Structure 1
Amino acid sequence: MFRGTPCLHYCLAMVRFTIEELPIPTEPGASGWADFAASLDLQNAVEAEGYGTDELAFTPKELLPGYHHQQYDPRRLFVARVGDAIVAGARTDAQAEGGDDCVWLSFSVHRDWRRRGIGTALAAHVEGIAAAEGRSTQYLYTVSPDAPGPRLAAPTGFGSVPRENPEVRFLLGRGYHLEQIERGSRLALPLDPTALAEQLGTVSSDAGPGYVVQVWEGATPERWRTDIAVLYTRMSTDAPSAGLNEPEDVWSVDRLVSYEQKHEASPRTLLTAAVEHRSSERLVGFTELSVPPELHRSVSQESTLVLSEHRGHGLGMLVKLANLRQLADRHPGHPAVTTFNAEENRHMLRVNEQLGFVPMGYEGAWKRVARV
């Protein structure tokens, strides 16, 4: 699991720092836990700074299982230290099968240690490792807070980021190209139960008798595993990806079971609503909610997809309403649900807006092709 890279020493702008790869602890409190937690807490803090809220944060205990189940989506953590303090962090995510030349990166620098060359050195180090492994197509998603001044528009024609923001200048300077804008949205809870029931009834009636909703908590029932694996695979090809051209991400039943074992090892709970096509007895759409254990924290909307050949029946709205009712029935008391959608995905954005989601921030999806 831990490959390791040499600890590199730097002295830039009168600051001495080191860059190293972190080993992944076996469990909370085990060897390496303090550094692992500090690195992820830093990522959360930088994201919260960009969005103006910490509602999107996942705790280190919630994220640790994802670093233990790396058979299908290997990931690595890197940090920069000044003395013993972690002042910047980076993460790489890849696909074990397919997309061999692709990697997804993230960089976070503590606000007190920016403009010292630390972020540049860390980015160059991690990008270089990825390129040396043949992963020359490098993707990065990062929040861009609103600001006055000139804008950099996405080539999709939907959305833009402030051209003079530090993260925008940083990425442009490193050869990244803006390809897409993602909108982060928030739905305040609780919803009125009577209105929710009425809306669900109306949407279900509009969808017609050819479709029926299935809901569950935790692992996918065995009879639906093949269908859910197909839906996950189609997430990588059917969702709008602009000029990112991200590779197909193929899911098998074994991969689905591994993914759900990861969730079962996390403190969070996964709620799923899916829609069955009666005549074929196959699932043709689904949506997920990731529920934290603490009631004061917001719920995260995960994957949502309706197969293209079954669109036009209101099934996206149907599964979202069904899962919101499941959330209210099984895990009431959370303040909100958060979600992300491509800004050009106007249909799903309209669905979310009809449900009551409001924008909470925007992030850019960037792409860089490195020289190998």
Structure 2
Amino acid sequence: MVELVDVPVPEGPGAPGWDEFVAFTEIENATQVAVYGTADVAITAERWLPQFRDPEQEVLFIAARDGDEVVGRIAVTRTHEAPEAGFVELQVRPGKQHRGVGTALADRLDGLAAELGLAKLITYVPSAPGPDAGRLVAPTGAGSVSRQDRGTRFLLARGWRLEQVERGSRLPLPADGDRLSALRADAERHAVGYRVLTWVGVTPAALRAAMAELNERMSTDIPTAGLEEPPETWDAERVLEYETRQTAEHALLVSAAEHIATGRLAGVTRIWLPHGAGAGQQGTTVVRGEDRGHRLGLLLKVANLEALDERFPGRPSVVTWNAEENHHMLRVNEAIGFVPMGYDGAWRKDLP
């Protein structure tokens, strides 16, 4: 019989809740790899934990146990900036479906949302490929998920609605050096008056206030369709805390565009790299509205990939996710050599 158990967010390996968190990671990896078809999307528990240790948010974990085995899990995250919205991860271990585990977890989620007074829930669910006929198209008109997918059927039956589709893309490494050189030369012809700054690790102290402004832009400028994801508030102290916590388990490779005449940061891109030899994950790329039209997004991505080849050779790939309606960034990725590997459905559920 399945038992649902509240689990603390572990402080680190070996702390209370760690064994369950390792099981959560196994479930996450099995789900992701099954859909995307590559182990490059897998993550270790040590690398994943900092995401849930952010002091700007509250996280609740629930494990579904069948005897000694964790067969499913819930994570509900809400930020201090928008406590009425819950970001949800609900998964059942592959091979353990059709036993009522998902229904039990979803029922508990609905009860928990009511207890917390949440107004809406948001979740991102990878969608397995399916037939073209009868696909569910996002309200944006860009992207779709298969109605035959188990996750799609489950979410629709529980009152969720699809709001957006994100494309997962992968760039095999090493990237084509000649292609990157040509793209950089083209971008630099349009980026007169700007220069690229590249570093590894936390943002230098003199640039943290400017990075805080760009992080706020990231939370409002990327397309979120009808999800209405909350804006974020950043300052230099939060930038340092976030990057310090994340770089305990990742190397951080950053390229930023500086407007030479004013010294302001016009845009930034990041790649997170696990310590060791795993795949990199492309973070959000953002350019200030007043600095757009100079191909800075392309310039920054190419510069960061060139630095990746020089400073972190031997990685298998870089993976990234973008909204299907973000046509500009998808074209940039395609020009660099990223190829689609799968799709995420972004879903929303409004609560009484």
TM-score (norm 1): 0.91
The CA deviation string for residues 161-200 of structure 1, in whole angstroms up to 9 with x for no partner, is: 1112110010011111101110000111102334433432
Map Cα deviations across residues 186-239 of structure 1 (whole Å, 9 max, x no partner): 11110233443343233122211x111111111000111111111111112111
**1:33 Cα deviation (Å)?**
2.2
Does residue 191 of structure 1 match 2:214? Answer: no
Letter of the structure 2 residue corresponding to residue 290 of structure 1 = W
Give the match's secondary structure for 2:244. Answer: helix
Choose the corresponding residue for 2:184, options 196, 200, 205.
Answer: 200
8 Å CA contact 1:72–1:255 kept in 2: the answer is: no
Q: Which residue of 2 aligns with 1:167?
A: 151
> Distance in 1 between the 2:17 and 2:110 partners?
24
Alignment of 1:320-335 (within 5 A): 320-335=301-316
Counterpart of 2:165 in 1: which secondary structure? strand
Q: For residue 81 of structure 1, what is the aligned residue in structure 2?
A: 65
Percent sequence identity over aligned pairs: 42
Q: Structure 1: which amino acid aligns with 2:162?
A: L
1:133 corresponds in structure 2 to 116
Q: Distance in 2 between matches of 1:309 and 1:244?
A: 26
Q: CA deviation at 1:244?
A: 1.2
- Gapped regions of structure 2 (runs ≥ 5): none
Distance 1:198 1:165, change over 3 A: closer
- Say if 1:238 and 1:308, in contact at 8 Å, map to a contact too: no
Query: How has the CA–CA distance of structure 1 residues 186 and 130 changed in structure 2, closer, same or farther, with 3 Å as cutoff?
Result: same
Match of 1:353 in 2: 334
Q: Which AA in structure 1 matches 2:158?
A: R
Matches of 1:180 and 1:32 in 2, distance apart?
Answer: 33
Alpha-carbon offset, residue 127 of structure 1: 3.4
Partner of 2:204: 221
Q: Given residue 200 of structure 1, which amino acid in structure 2 is its aligned partner?
A: R
Question: Does residue 293 of the first structure (1) align with residue 275 of the second (2)?
Answer: yes
Partner residue of 1:243 out of 226, 248, 254 = 226
Q: 1:169, 1:192 → 2: CA distance? A: 41
The normalised TM-score by structure 2 is 0.96
Q: Tell me, in whole angstroms, the C-alpha distance in 1 between the residues paired with 2:120 and 2:32.
A: 24
User: Match of 2:111, as an amino acid?
Assistant: G
Rounded Cα–Cα distance in structure 1 between residues aligned with 2:254 and 2:248: 17
Q: Which moved more, 1:221-230 or 1:248-257?
A: 248-257
For 1:9, the equivalent position in structure 2 comes to none
Q: Deviations over 1:300-356 (max 9, x none)?
A: 101211122211110000100111011111101111110000000000000000000
Q: CA RMSD in A?
A: 1.5
Q: How many Å apart are 1:31 and its aligned residue?
A: 4.0
Write the letter of the residue equivalent to 2:288.
Answer: L
